[in-house]
Chain A
Amino acid sequence: MKKLINAVENVVKEQLEGMALAHPELTVAFEPTFIRRADAPVAGKVALISGGGSGHEPMHGGFVGKGMLDGACPGEVFTSPTPDQMYACAKAVDGGAGVLFIVKNYTGDVMNFEAAAELVAADGIKVQNILIDDDVAVKDSLYTAGRRGVGTTVLAEKIVGAAAEAGYDLDACAALCRKVNQYGRSFGVALTSCTVPAAGKPTFDLGEGEVEMGIGIHGEPGTHRMPIGPVDALTAYAAGQIIDDPAYTRTVREWDGSGWAENTLTDAPFAKGDNVIAFVNSMGGTPLSELYAVYRKLDAVCKEKGLTIVRNLIGPYITSLEMQGFSITLLKADDEILKYWDAPVKTPGLVR
């Protein structure tokens, strides 16, 4: 393992300390660990909190700032954070309008955020939680924990963050976040594994000439392996999985103010004539230049399928440590989504 680290057990802490030094507009708290806007709580504004395992930088800590998140709760590398972090963060950033948890659908994240929501609600703070589950590589929710939360998370944090800044109340923020999740779909491809510092060896073995299709952001297994092909073929496959994905139905648990409500949601497939935001993401080790090669083919596939790319985001935003690979996210864009996509944002990881 070749990594820029000191002691393995201090990796996350030292990286956060560096981030705090580099960004005085952020405040980093330890024990429990969370990152917040230094100017939080913003009175009267709904506060957005997300979190999850570390190793996906700039997500989530790098998206804390005006127009995006108010707080982020990082766990150890690829391990979910604990409820005391979200609880302390919520207390620190609530500006009286309540707190929205944006939670990626992983069992550990979901349960820790659910426990946190109960603690926050018990303190009389309004709270809602919305799951992001957009990874089309997971086909069913009957025999699995359901689709994982991947690229759409970044877009949701940007869009809902702008809406909160514009004065949306908690219900409206939650509704918009739910819609963004339902309009977004993603698919990832790995060219190499990554190495979790504490493990010291690659998460999985991938042959020199092989790629893993449908990879998750923690090295979860994909749908299948195949010999590496030209970028056009890999891109066409990933885009096809997203665009041709049929309607997806699952039941999610959402906090309804006093308890947990089970809501069954169905995401409609993409349709000819849809406008989309196209997000081409690096898993960490793939250079921007190669992402543009992906985007070139993605644009062609979208045109062929009758989708119009109206905005794009290209770069490493939701990564898997040093993994080589990419993911594509397509988000159906209506006027509301575009309005808040275009709104200003100023965070370490995304500025516009």
Chain B
Amino acid sequence: MPLSKAQLLAWLGKLDAVYAAKKEYLTDLDAAIGDADHGINMNRGFGKVMEKLPPVADKDIGTILKTVGMTLMSSVGGASGPLYGTFWMKPGMLLGGKEELDAADFARFVEAGVDGILQRGRPERGDKTMYDVWAPVLEVVKARAAAGDDVAAIVDAALPVGEKALADTIPLQARKGRASYLGERSVGHQDPGATSSYYMLETLRDVLHA
């Protein structure tokens, strides 16, 4: 089964609820190794997305994704604003005219999004950022799409990989972003951006199984 537009909208709506519920938790993670604003930033951003979505909800998927990206870019702030902004915007530019995403489209979505994070933040694996979750997830997504899985099966396969990658950020020493100034003191904490990225995947799984 492809990812329908209704599922995409449900995913975004659910993300808004997830970031509202996890606002304190993400902010606490950021307080440990950053400046205690990541949950506030994500909550504000997806709140704005909910305001901007209704007028474009019946447009093509490319337009919806671009709207999400532009909105996050101009409302999240911090490092994660431009990162998530490009993450949603770049696939939007690729997927113009689409009313649903098949497995190949979905793989292009994730690939273009992760490429956006790479271009904007220039992270490397092991820097203790959101890219540490997206890099292995992208590998699985591409492999499962090539093997002929549908979107739900791809996401099911990617989720445990993302979950492990998220836990694997804990022992890392940050080399990018605000956390890098802590040096060794950043070790032992889960990265906030990696955590909010994992929620995107987990929430999509929930929507696909609803």
A residues sitting closer than 8 Å to B (CB atoms) are 32, 75-76, 78-84, 106-108, 111-112, 114-115, 138, 142-145, 148, 198-199, 216, 218, 220-221
Contact = CB atoms under 8 A, between A and B. Distances in A.
Contacts of B164: none
Most chain A CB within a 10 A radius of its CB, from B40, B78, B85:
B78
Q: How large is the interface on B (under 10, 10 to 19, 20 to 34, 35 or more residues)?
A: 20 to 34
A147 B176 CA distance: 12
A112 B176 contact: no
B180 A199 contact: no
Most chain A CB within a 10 A radius of its CB, from B41, B86, B175, B180:
B180
Contact of A221 (B36, B73, B86, B185): B185
A80 B74 CA distance: 11
A220 B175 CA distance: 15
A83 B74 contact: yes
B79 interface: yes
B88 to A, nearest CB: 13
19 contacts: A32-B74, A79-B37, A79-B77, A80-B78, A80-B79, A80-B81, A82-B74, A82-B75, A82-B76, A107-B121, A108-B77, A111-B81, A115-B85, A143-B173, A143-B180, A144-B183, A145-B176, A199-B36, A220-B181
B1 interface: no
A82 B81 contact: yes
Nearest to B185: A221
B146 interface: no
A84 B73 contact: yes
Contacts of A106: 178
Interface of B: 35-37, 40-41, 73-79, 81-83, 85-86, 120-121, 173, 175-178, 180-183, 185
Contacts of B78: 79-80, 108
A145 B37 contact: no
A81 B180 contact: no
A78 B181 contact: no
Contacts, number: 79
Contacts of A216: 181
B52 to A, nearest CB: 13
Nearest 7 A-B pairs (CB), nearest first? Answer: A84-B74, A111-B82, A144-B180, A108-B78, A107-B79, A108-B79, A107-B177
A218 B79 CA distance: 15
Given A83-B82, A108-B78, A144-B180, A115 B73 contact: yes
Contacts of A220: 178, 181
Contact of A218 (B35, B81, B82): B35
Contacts of A108: 77-79, 81, 178
Nearest to A79: B77
Given A114-B82, A143-B183, A220-B178, A75 B74 contact: no
